[in-house]
Structure 1
Amino acid sequence: MGSINVNNLGKAYKQYATRWSRLAEWVLPFLGVQHRLKWVLKDINFSITTGEAVGIIGINGAGKSTLLKLITGTTQATTGTVQSNGRIAALLELGMGFHPDVNGRDNVLMAGQLMGLSMEDISQLMPQIEAFAEIGDYIDSPVRVYSSGMQMRLAFSVATCVRPDILIVDEALAVGDVFFQQKCFERITQFTKAGTTLLFVSHSTGTVLNTCTRCIFIREGGLAFDGAPKEAIDLYQAELLSRLDQAKTPLQVNTSHEQERRIGHETRLTDAPALEGKTGSITTGRADCVGVNFVQQDGSIQYSMLADERVTLRIDFRIRQPLEDPHAGFKIRNRYGVVLFETNTYCMHETLGQAEANTILSVEFSFALSLFPDEYTITIGLANGGYGEGAFKEVITYLHEVSAFVVLPNPSAITWAGLTNLQPQLSFEKY
C-alpha cells in the first residue's frame, strides 16, 4: 500500500483563437479543428514505493500542481496513466472542499465523509482535530472569516486526522506561523516513519532537503531529474538563475551526476584548466573559474582550518570577454547540502570595476570561520551587472561544490554544539 506508478503521463489544454472558435468547433464540426493543444505536462514517468518521501520542485508554471491533480484524480490526463495503491490524503489548495458560508465544524464533517470516514468516526476524531488545529471558537464560525493560516490549520488537521497511505501536500504549509509548520512537519515525519508515502511540492528547498529522501525536478512540463534532493535543488537553482539571466550567450547547465574537479595550483592561472562544478552548474564561456582556495598571509593554500579563526577565501577567474560590472560571490554548505552562508560583492555594496578580456580577476573574502568542526563545500559564482536586492543582468559562471574544506576543533575556543558559534560573552553578579 502507498505506492504510485506514473506512466507516459501528459496533460494538454485546448486553446482557441477566439471565443467563437470554440462554438464553431462544437456546432460546425465540418469546419475542422479550431484549437491547438497547450501541453502542461508531457511524457512523465516515475514510480514511488511505499514509505518514500519524495519532493517535487520546479519554477512557477512548470507543471507541479497539475501533476498532483492528475495523481489525485481531480484532473483527467490527456495521455498516460496513474496507478496508486492506498488511501490518499491531499492538501492541494487552501480550503479546497470547504464551503465558505458553513462553519468549520460542519466543514470537517463534510470533508471527513469525502475522505471515506463515517459520521461516527468523524465524531470520535473531532476533539483531536480541534486540538491539533488550535483555532479555538472559530471552529463554529463560517470559514469565510478565516485567515489563510487558519484555513491551513483546519485543512491539515482534517487531512491527517487518520494516517493515510499516501500524503500529498502542495505548498499549503507555506502559510501560517512557523510553530504550527513545525507541528505539521513533526506529524509528517511520524507518518513517514510509520510507512506513509509522502509527495511534497514546495519552493522551500531547505524544507525539501530536510524532509525528503528523493526529489523530482519538473522543467517546462517534463521530468528533468529524479534522484538525490541536493542535486535536484542544484538544478532548480540553476533554472532560477537562467530565468533571471539577460545575457545573449546561452547558459550551459551541467546535468551529469558526478564531475571531477580539476585544480591547477602549480599551473599559471592564465593556463590553468577551468574548474567544473557538480549538478546544476552553469558556464557561458565568457569567464572561467581557475582557483578556489583558502590562503594564508604568505599566499600558501590551506586545506583545513581551525574553527573560530579568521580565514581568507580567494576565488580566481580567467576573464575571456570584457565585463562592465563584474560581481563574485560564494556559498558554504554542510554535508547535508544545507546552505549555511552566502553573499556576493554586490550584496556587500562593493564594486570591482571593469574586467578586461584575457586578464585574471582574483577576489578575496575574509571572515571568521564560526562553523562546527566538519566537512563543508563551496559554491561560487560570477555575474555581470547587479540590480535590485541581489539580482544580476547576466550570469557568467555558477559552479556548485567546486571545492571542499575541513574545519578542525579549536582547542583554545569554547566547547559548543550546533551549526555556528555565536561567541557568547558572559557576565554575572552575585547579591
Structure 2
Amino acid sequence: MSLLVIDNLGKSYRTYRSEWQRIARWFFLPVKPSEEHWVLKHISFSVLPGEAIGIVGQNGAGKSTLLKMITGTLHPTEGAIQINGRVAAILELGMGFNPELTGRQNVYHAAGLMGFNTDEIKQAMGEIEAFAEIGDYFDEPVRMYSSGMQMRVAFSVATAFRPEILIIDEALSVGDSYFQHKSFDRIREFQKQGTTLLIVSHDRGAIQSLCNRAILLEGGTVIKDGKPEEVMDFYNAIIAEKENTTVKIRKIEDGSVQTCSGSGEASIESVSLHNAAGELVEFIPVGEPVSLRIRAKINRDIPELVMGYMIKDRLGQSVFGTNTHYLDCKLEALWAGEVVEYRFGFPANLGVGSYSVAVALHATHSHIARNYEWRDLALLFNVINISREEFVGLAWIPPSVECCR
C-alpha cells in the first residue's frame, strides 16, 4: 500500500474585485476571480514505504508549495492528498517557533502539535537537547538564536520520534558542516528502519546520496520522475537551456539515459580514454596514467571556446571536474569548420568501480552562461586494482606511515 498518494493536486492564488465576492466563493456561489495564478497544477504521484524522493526544480517551480500542502499548512485548490502514516516536517526555518519562548519551551509546543503528550516529550527532551548541541542557549529565547541554532533545534525535535514520512525543505543548507553530517547520519538511520523521505534540495550530491527517486517540477507541473542521476542530468540541461538550445534524451547501450543540451554552435565529435601507450582502454588499473581525449567541431563562428569535463561515480555524484578556463587554456575567435582536440592527462587515482565522464563545450567559466553542448555519460570506464594494496573509497591516496611506541 502506498504511504502517500497525490492525486491531481493543484494550487492557485485568486484575486477578487471585492471582499464580498471572496466571501461569496466561500458559499460556492459562481463568482469568477478577477485574476488567477496557478502555482501547481495536475500533480500526481504516489510514494511507497521506505522510498526516498528528492523534489527538485528551479526557484518558483512550486516545490515548497507542494510540501506545505502535503504537511497540511496550506490547502490545495483542487485534487486530493492521502497520507497513511505520521509525518514530521522541517519546512521554513523556525516555522512554528515563538521567538519569545526558549528552545525547550518551543520543543514542548512543536512536539505537542505533532501529537505527543507531555510525558513522551519529557522522556525525549534529554536526547533532543543533546542532539541540538547548543548548550545553555537551549533555555534562552529563540530570538537570540542564529539561523543555524534554530535549524539544530527544529531538526532535533522533528526527528526525536521516528516518523513514517520525513519531509525536509532546504533547511539543512543553513547548518554548519558538522551538523549537516550528523543530520544526514540520522536520516540514513531512519531510512534503514523504513522511514520514507521527501527532501527539497539544490544539492545534487545530497539528492543522489539519499534518494532512490527524484521528481522534477517545472512551471508548476511534474516534467520528469525517475532515477536521481537521470533527473538531475535533465535538470542541469534545463538550467543551461537558452533560447536557441535544445535538450535531447536517448538510451545508450547499457540502458542508461543520456542527456544532451546546447545551442549546437560547437559539438562533441568523440570522447575516448587512452593509456600511457596511447591505446584505447575501458579498464584502467588504479593509479595508472591516462589521457582523456575530446574532439570538438566548430559549427558556427564563436568568440570563445572552453572545454570542461566531470568524472562521476556509479551513483552520478561528482568526483572531479575542471575546464580549460580554469586551466588557462581557452581558445578565442574560432571559425566554422574548425576541429579542435583536447587531451587531458592525469593519473587514475580512483577507487575500484565504474565511472562516467560528462563533457561540456561553452563560453566563459561555466556552461550555464553560453552552452554549446553538454553531454552526460559521454564516456564510461572501469577502474580495477591489479597491483596496489587493498583500500576502500573513491580515491586512491596512498599514505606513508610511521609507527611510534
Find the partner of 1:405 among 363, 367, 381: 381
Please give the per-residue CA displacement for 1:369-398, whole angstroms capped at 9, x wherever unaligned: 2112322111111113x05xx465310111
| Alignment-derived partner of residue 77 in structure 1 | 76
Do the aligned partners of residues 120 and 56 (structure 1) sit closer, same or farther apart at CA in structure 2, a change above 3 Å counting? same
Alignment of 1:202-217 (within 5 A): 202-217=201-216
Please give the per-residue CA displacement for 1:4-48, whole angstroms capped at 9, x wherever unaligned: 1001111111257xxxx556955999xx85632221111111000
Measured in 2, the distance between the counterparts of 1:300 and 1:181 equals 44
Deviation at 1:260, TM superposition (A): 4.3
| Alignment-derived partner of residue 273 in structure 1 | none
| Alignment-derived partner of residue 173 in structure 2 | 174
| Alignment-derived partner of residue 266 in structure 1 | none
| Alignment-derived partner of residue 350 in structure 2 | 371
Aligned residues: 400
One-letter code aligned to 1:416: F
Do the aligned partners of residues 417 and 95 (structure 1) sit closer, same or farther apart at CA in structure 2, a change above 3 Å counting? same
One-letter code aligned to 2:238: E
One-letter code aligned to 1:5: V
The runs of at least 4 consecutive aligned structure 1 residues that moved more than 6 Å come to none
| Alignment-derived partner of residue 396 in structure 2 | 421
- Check whether the contact 1:130–1:139 (CA below 8 A) recurs between aligned residues: yes
Measured in 2, the distance between the counterparts of 1:178 and 1:430 equals 33
Deviation at 1:164, TM superposition (A): 1.1
- Check whether the contact 1:42–1:221 (CA below 8 A) recurs between aligned residues: yes
TM-score normalised per structure 2: 0.91
Q: Secondary structure at the match of 2:182?
A: helix
- Check whether the contact 2:54–2:211 (CA below 8 A) recurs between aligned residues: yes
Do the aligned partners of residues 205 and 132 (structure 1) sit closer, same or farther apart at CA in structure 2, a change above 3 Å counting? same
| Alignment-derived partner of residue 39 in structure 1 | 38
Please give the per-residue CA displacement for 1:183-242, whole angstroms capped at 9, x wherever unaligned: 222222222222221111111111111111111111121101111111111112112222
Measured in 1, the distance between the counterparts of 2:110 and 2:311 equals 45
Measured in 2, the distance between the counterparts of 1:317 and 1:297 equals 22
Question: Which deviates more from structure 2 when the two are superposed, residues 131-140 or residues 61-70?
Answer: 131-140
Do the aligned partners of residues 114 and 405 (structure 1) sit closer, same or farther apart at CA in structure 2, a change above 3 Å counting? same
Measured in 2, the distance between the counterparts of 1:370 and 1:363 equals 21
- Check whether the contact 2:367–2:374 (CA below 8 A) recurs between aligned residues: no
Measured in 1, the distance between the counterparts of 2:399 and 2:201 equals 35
Measured in 1, the distance between the counterparts of 2:171 and 2:344 equals 39
One-letter code aligned to 2:61: A
Q: Secondary structure at the match of 1:109?
A: helix
Measured in 1, the distance between the counterparts of 2:143 and 2:356 equals 48
Find the partner of 1:253 among 209, 233, 247: 247
Measured in 2, the distance between the counterparts of 1:425 and 1:122 equals 51
Do the aligned partners of residues 128 and 355 (structure 1) sit closer, same or farther apart at CA in structure 2, a change above 3 Å counting? same
Please give the per-residue CA displacement for 1:153-180, whole angstroms capped at 9, x wherever unaligned: 1111111111111111111111222222
The answer as to 2:212 corresponding to 1:218 is no
| Alignment-derived partner of residue 267 in structure 1 | none
Q: Secondary structure at the match of 1:101?
A: coil
| Alignment-derived partner of residue 56 in structure 1 | 55
Q: Secondary structure at the match of 1:393?
A: coil
Measured in 1, the distance between the counterparts of 2:276 and 2:152 equals 55
Measured in 2, the distance between the counterparts of 1:296 and 1:140 equals 62
Do the aligned partners of residues 22 and 319 (structure 1) sit closer, same or farther apart at CA in structure 2, a change above 3 Å counting? farther
Alignment of 1:142-291 (within 5 A): 142-242=141-241, 245=242, 248-249=243-244, 251-256=245-250, 258-260=251-253, 278-291=257-270
The answer as to 2:317 corresponding to 1:338 is yes
Q: Secondary structure at the match of 2:185?
A: helix
Do the aligned partners of residues 300 and 125 (structure 1) sit closer, same or farther apart at CA in structure 2, a change above 3 Å counting? closer
Alpha carbon RMSD of aligned pairs, Å? Answer: 2.6
Q: Secondary structure at the match of 1:186?
A: helix
| Alignment-derived partner of residue 28 in structure 2 | none
Q: Secondary structure at the match of 1:347?
A: coil
Measured in 1, the distance between the counterparts of 2:176 and 2:133 equals 12
| Alignment-derived partner of residue 326 in structure 1 | 305
- Check whether the contact 2:352–2:394 (CA below 8 A) recurs between aligned residues: no
- Check whether the contact 2:14–2:33 (CA below 8 A) recurs between aligned residues: no
Deviation at 1:72, TM superposition (A): 0.9
Question: Which deviates more from structure 2 when the two are superposed, residues 145-154 or residues 356-365?
Answer: 356-365
Q: Secondary structure at the match of 1:239?
A: helix
| Alignment-derived partner of residue 353 in structure 1 | 332
Aligned identity (percent) is 40
Measured in 2, the distance between the counterparts of 1:90 and 1:2 equals 19
Question: Which deviates more from structure 2 when the two are superposed, residues 144-153 or residues 182-191?
Answer: 182-191
Question: Which deviates more from structure 2 when the two are superposed, residues 4-13 or residues 116-125?
Answer: 116-125
Deviation at 1:429, TM superposition (A): 9.3
Question: Which deviates more from structure 2 when the two are superposed, residues 300-309 or residues 135-144?
Answer: 300-309
Deviation at 1:82, TM superposition (A): 0.9
- Check whether the contact 1:355–1:361 (CA below 8 A) recurs between aligned residues: no
Find the partner of 2:283 among 282, 285, 304: 304
Measured in 1, the distance between the counterparts of 2:350 and 2:385 equals 10
Do the aligned partners of residues 122 and 284 (structure 1) sit closer, same or farther apart at CA in structure 2, a change above 3 Å counting? same
One-letter code aligned to 1:420: A
Do the aligned partners of residues 217 and 430 (structure 1) sit closer, same or farther apart at CA in structure 2, a change above 3 Å counting? closer
Deviation at 1:424, TM superposition (A): 3.3
Q: Secondary structure at the match of 1:13?
A: strand
Question: Which deviates more from structure 2 when the two are superposed, residues 347-356 or residues 48-57?
Answer: 347-356
One-letter code aligned to 2:248: N
Deviation at 1:365, TM superposition (A): 1.1
Deviation at 1:254, TM superposition (A): 2.3
TM-score normalised per structure 1: 0.86
One-letter code aligned to 2:93: L
Measured in 2, the distance between the counterparts of 1:354 and 1:112 equals 63
Do the aligned partners of residues 2 and 105 (structure 1) sit closer, same or farther apart at CA in structure 2, a change above 3 Å counting? farther
The answer as to 2:5 corresponding to 1:5 is yes
The answer as to 2:14 corresponding to 1:14 is yes
- Check whether the contact 1:89–1:164 (CA below 8 A) recurs between aligned residues: yes
Do the aligned partners of residues 26 and 374 (structure 1) sit closer, same or farther apart at CA in structure 2, a change above 3 Å counting? closer
Measured in 1, the distance between the counterparts of 2:2 and 2:177 equals 29
Deviation at 1:281, TM superposition (A): 2.0
